[in-house]
Amino acid sequence: MPVLKIEALTKSFGPNIAVNKVTFAVEKPAMIGIIGRSGAGKSTLLRMLNRLTDASSGRIVFEGRDVSALKGAEKRAWQSQCAMIFQQFNLVPRMDVVSNVLHGTLNRRSTLATMFNLFPDSDIHRAIEILDRLGIAEHAPKRAEALSGGQQQRVAIARALMQDPKIILADEPIASLDPMNAQIVMDTLRRIHEEDGRMVIANLHTLDTARRYCDRVIGMLAGRVVFDGTPEQLTTGVARDIYGADASFSEESTSTAIETLDRERLRAIHAAEAAI
The residue ranges that bind Mg ion (CB under 5 A) are 42-43
| Binding flag, residue 40, ligand ATP (CB under 6 A) | yes
Residue 150 touches ligand ATP, criterion: CB under 6 A: no
Instruction: Give the C-alpha distances (Å, rounded to integers) separating 246 from 37, 159, 164, 184.
Output: 11, 40, 42, 32
Asked if 174 interacts with ligand ATP (CB under 6 A), we say: no
Q: How far apart are CA 156 and CA 91, in angstroms?
A: 7
Cβ neighbours of residue 65 under 8 Å, at least 6 residues apart? none
CB-nearer residue toward Mg ion: 43 or 151:
43
198 binding partner (options Mg ion, ligand ATP, none; Cβ < 5 to 8 Å by kind): none
Q: CA 161, CA 150: separation in Å to the nearest integer?
A: 17
Q: Which stretch binds ligand ATP (CB under 6 A): 37-45, 90-98, 103-111, 259-267?
A: 37-45
Q: Which is nearer to ligand ATP, 36 or 173 (CB)?
A: 36
> Is residue 9 close enough to count as binding ligand ATP by CB under 6 A?
no
Give me the residue whose beta carbon is nearest to Mg ion. Answer: 43
Please state the closest distance from residue 137 (CB atom) to ligand ATP, in A. Answer: 32
> What are the beta bridge partners of residue 32?
201, 216
Backbone angles phi, psi at 23, to 5 degrees: -135, 125
Give the nearer residue to Mg ion in terms of CB position, either 157 or 204: 204
Q: Please, what is the minimum distance in Å from the beta carbon of residue 118 to Mg ion?
A: 36
CA 105 from chain centre, in angstroms, equals 18
Total count of residues recorded for the chain: 276
- Pick from 6, 33, 41, 217 the residue near ligand ATP by CB under 6 A: 41
Nearer to ligand ATP, 147 or 202 (CB): 202
> Rounded to whole angstroms, how far apart are CA atoms 19 and 222?
8
3-state secondary structure 213-266: HCCEEEEEECCEEEEEECHHHCCHHHHHHHHCCCCCCCCHHHCCCHHHCCHHHH
Binding of residue 54 to ligand ATP (CB under 6 A):
no
Choose between 127 and 185: whose C-beta lies nearer to ligand ATP: 185
**Rounded Cα–Cα distance for residues 147 and 150 (Å):** 8
Q: Of 134 and 200, which CB lies nearer to Mg ion in the complex structure?
A: 200
Task: Please report whether residue 218 would count as binding ligand ATP according to CB under 6 A.
Answer: no
29 touching ligand ATP, by CB under 6 A: no
Minimum CB separation of residue 126 from ligand ATP in Å reads 32
Rounded to whole angstroms, how far apart are CA atoms 134 and 137? 8
Binding of ligand ATP by 13 (CB under 6 A) = yes
Applying the rule CB under 6 A, the residues between 230 and 249 that interact with ligand ATP are none
Cα–Cα distance, 212 to 72 (Å, whole number): 39
- Residue 2's binding partner, choosing from ligand ATP, Mg ion, none, with beta-carbon cut-off 5 to 8 A by kind? none
Q: Tell me which residues touch ligand ATP (CB under 6 A).
A: 13, 16, 18, 36, 38-44
